Structure 1
Amino acid sequence: MTRRSTTKAKQQDTAAPAPAPAIPKIPPAQVLPRLAALQTAPTADLKHQWRELFGKEPPPWNRAYIQSRLAYRIQELAYGGLKPETVDRLVALGEQMDGGNVVLRRIRADGRPLAGTRLIREWQGVQHVVTVRQDDFEFEGRPYQSLSAIARHITGTRWNGWTFFGLRARGDA
């Protein structure tokens, strides 16, 4: 390769990346069929829809999370998102609660999910749903004192319940 062709090749390599594709508007008539299709779509299709609707790579989280975020995004693109006044009000309420300290916003005193939170975990093709209550957890209509007890009930082996339900990565303290 000549010096001139090498310089030209380097210029082509450093060209600006192509702009991100435009995020499509979703007609309201397509919302219900698309939401229903999320339930049976393969994970690869969900990730493809994520790229299409968010314009970026999907997070490495569980299927239930990706489904719920896609469901919200489909409705948002069809009907519009939160009004600016609502966003401003939510920000003001957050600052009222933590004095504007962003770090405090991300930390709960006990690290426990809020009461009413539903934890969903698929295990061996079966979807298991746990509801966080004020002082315990509910699974299959019964109270449990810990997520580890529920994970053991589901799997038959000892698990860290926080890890099993994706609330903490393996090895985190």
Structure 2
Amino acid sequence: MTTHDPIPARLAALKASSTPDLKAQWRELFDSEPPPFNRPYLESRLAYRIQELAYGGLKPETVKRLEALGEQLDGGDRKKSRMRADAMPIVGTRLIREWQGVEHVVTVTADGFEWQGRPYKSLSAIARAITGTRWNGWVFFGLKNHRRRA
């Protein structure tokens, strides 16, 4: 006797679902508001999440390895490749952030950023070096507001 796996049917149903239904599923599965991206993005992320919850996600070792590879490629800033050039601060701009009583100065360079005499490809990598935890560098340095979940 075989057991019926409902996951393939759930994945197939995503294509026929309305966009408002996809957004409702997003809220249920991610416990957050859906991003303002296109329908194919919502479908693919929902399909992954459905499978992740049913079958399990990536092993912690795999996640760490992928993060290390990403750090080597883009300095940890996954959005940098999609960012418009005019969204970057002007070369030479100094970003100043106080953290635990210490003032940190970052200079925008043509290739990224410089902090304490070392080049960095992303503000997130610098924020991580300063705090020891993962931060969105743009939020940490006050260049972007952090939107809280409702």
Superposition TM-score tier, normalisation by shorter sequence: 0.3 to 0.5
Using CA pairs below 8 Å that are at least 6 residues apart, which structure has the higher relative contact order? 2
Task: Tell me the TM-score normalized by structure 2.
Answer: 0.48
Largest Rg, 1 or 2: 1
Task: Tell me the TM-score normalized by structure 1.
Answer: 0.42
